[in-house]
Structure 1
């Protein structure tokens, strides 16, 4: 009898055709745009919500950002493990329903607590979508196409970042903020059954040619030990998190910096910043995956070297932003997001390829938690705290000085990613996730 762990792939185990995989990727882009758009739509509704519900700025900050971030961080790892063990398709479809219901709850909110619960529900839905969707893409696209596929997927986030505030602002003006939020729930309700009924679950590791393995329950602690034993992974996660800290520490305070340093009104700075970041991120996400796949065919370390170069270049561009004239600031912010966008898809592709297929969603969840806590959460808070500490010495210039200091994290970020590149080929070979003859040839050289 053939051992089930070593038997070759049978015809039903073949990868689906490119037509289906293209359709799958298109749907994932739409789902991503839906959740990101619904998350960021509230940024243009702050004032009418604050006035009607009589909320303080602190309360608005809690419902707008903190509620989503906390629930996202708490939910993403358990939901990733559920997706690895059960069904990525079902977790993604249910998550779309969850965040759509949550958006309706926000639109119907009569007080702070109902609004807070609704925003937390959006974080829960986003936490259930992020890791399974990326792991699902890794299961469907082999290593030579994976970063390109993830680049296309990331365009959904860029689209959501742009359309959410743009359409939300128009709809809130025309129909009121409550109706605008209720309208925003419609795409998720349409996409959930499309995911459930038209997409198919894919066996973990199928695109890598991994053999069928029995599903043996593995505890979280055992999975965590397994992931942390991969030398490259902790280095890469920490490097990416520091990169995010640098980027968000500068971007999140950009309008205030322009107002204090260059005398530009915050609303004008916000509009120019949003346009620059959208263009930069779209170009970066579009170029990053194909570039990594092209260079990675010559040397797998390029997938990590791109992150190394990204950290170094972002540090230099950040210095030019903070020390140059006002007319250069926003083009340079666009360049900064372009550089960061180029490294995003290669980073995801490496994390998906470094770990056993059964743990992909969990590994991506750990990466996302680290980026959320250190980068998206820690960056803005650290800059604000440092600015307060420096205010007695520098006055209104303290914010710019604090933003300059945060650029220093680009140094350890660059060093850590370079260290990760020194061990990655051995780790790739061990897990066998970047498989076949091409992988063996790359490791041998």
Structure 2
């Protein structure tokens, strides 16, 4: 402790900060996933296949994101966090604009990496500031509101992107200087990047709260040793959550292409309906996952939470199977069911992680969740689906089957790992519940 009294900023100031962070999370996920609705025109313009698109959606962003996350997290513990947030927002918006101007695949790949660097600054700095702005009994609610922006941001990328792409294809921006000469998908990326500059402007209105505790940097070997002692519980739990993320990113990236290629839906139709289904399902999933997992925890401890995650992941797998159905209504039903149940299972899993990890390592625990979700989910989910479509089925119209081939096994493996973590926890505690 610093030795000074624990004082928190005024309530309205703290909640304004959270509202700005929620908006920042919304914009960041919109930038992260905007390519999913631009797949077909981008491929035609640049002459690239599904595998190359998947690298732009996943690896180009994910690799630099996970590499930058840890040093930016340590910087957030030591430096001026608001400056880090403003700098990160400026970088990711610039990256999105550069994506719209990129002349070819590799320059677009590099621009996506710039987006990843900027977005890696958001979560650690925002979570640190929220921790200093709210007393312990309110931090969960504040963090939940912050995460809500991210939950809505992914579907919004498809919704907003679809509307903008449709307008650009209809010539709505022909009279705009410079923009009017560009391909429609480039116009969308530039508009998204420019509009995102509202985030650093809003961050200027946020006051950085006083740090309540001095951060003690434990040696890395000490941290690794403590985590390794619980590797059967923690490792299986982290991978179980990450496997759900494989499905999340796989569906967000390729279900729009299912609706476009198989059912000839227009971009604006995909954007509005896809965005509505996933946004509603994601919001309810996040809320229900927290509330119901707390209920199961009161009855069965940590193992109750993990059992609840297993049940939700089972239903999510059914949703992934429906994505391969031959009717758009069933595809949307599967998308909604996966989004709802995956959010429930992941939220309950993260709550269980917070229960079992040592109190002074919870921040590291959340960093590991983000690391695994990004590396496995965003890094592998879109690419695996594309590879099955191109090299397995050899038919772009089989993309729905490819989604099911990747995501259903991911859900089954997730269930098994939740069960292993649950069993390891019981063994560790000698048959006593957590």
Q: TM-score, normalising length from structure 1?
A: 0.74
CA offsets per residue over residues 286-323 of structure 1, 9 Å max, x none?
Answer: 33334445665676525544433322332344456667
Q: Would you say how many aligned residue pairs link Structure 1 and Structure 2?
A: 409
What residue is the counterpart of 1:277 in the other structure? Answer: 278
CA contact (8 A) 1:277 1:333 kept: yes
Report how far residue 326 of structure 1 moved: 6.3
Alpha-carbon offset, residue 82 of structure 1: 2.2
Distance 1:343 1:123, change over 3 A: same
Give the direction of change, closer, same or farther, for the CA distance of 1:80–1:353 in structure 2 (3 Å limit): farther
Partner of 1:105: 98
8 Å CA contact 1:154, 1:345 repeated in 2: no
Match of 2:192 among 184, 197, 205: 184
> Does the 8 Å CA contact 2:247/2:377 hold for their aligned counterparts?
yes
Q: 2:93·2:197 contact (CA, 8 Å) conserved in 1?
A: yes
Change (3 A) 1:119 1:356: same
The gaps in structure 1 that reach 5 residues or longer are 207-211, 427-442
For residue 199 of structure 1, the aligned residue among 198, 207, 226 is 207
Contact persistence 1:89–1:200 (CA under 8 A): yes
Aligned equivalents of 1:256, 1:170: Cα separation in 2? 15
The CA distance in 2 between the partners of 1:390 and 1:63, in whole Å, is 21
Contiguous gaps of at least 5 residues in structure 2: 174-178
> Which residue of structure 2 aligns with residue 237 of structure 1?
238
2:413 matches 1:409: yes
Distance 1:351 1:229, change over 3 A: same
Q: Post-superposition shift, 1:26?
A: 0.7
- 1:415 deviates by 0.7
Distance 1:424 1:240, change over 3 A: farther
Question: 1:288 and 1:183, CA in 2 relative to 1: closer, same or farther beyond 3 A?
Answer: same
Alpha-carbon distance in 1 for matches of 2:326, 2:41 = 36
In the other structure, the counterpart of 1:22 is: 15
**Other structure's SS at 1:198 match:** coil
CA–CA distance in structure 2, aligned partners of residues 145 and 425 of structure 1: 30
What is the correspondence of 1:159-308 to structure 2 with a 5 Å cutoff?
159-172=152-165, 173=168, 174-175=172-173, 176=179, 177=184, 178-195=186-203, 198-201=206-209, 203=211, 212-213=213-214, 215-230=215-230, 232-248=233-249, 254=255, 264-265=263-264, 273-292=274-293, 301=302, 303-308=305-310
Q: CA deviation at 1:96?
A: 0.9
CA distance in 2, matches of 1:188, 1:256: 25
- CA 297–135 in structure 1, closer or farther in 2 if over 3 Å, else same: farther
Distance in 2, matches of 1:315 and 1:308, equals 11
Q: 1:78 deviation in Å?
A: 2.2
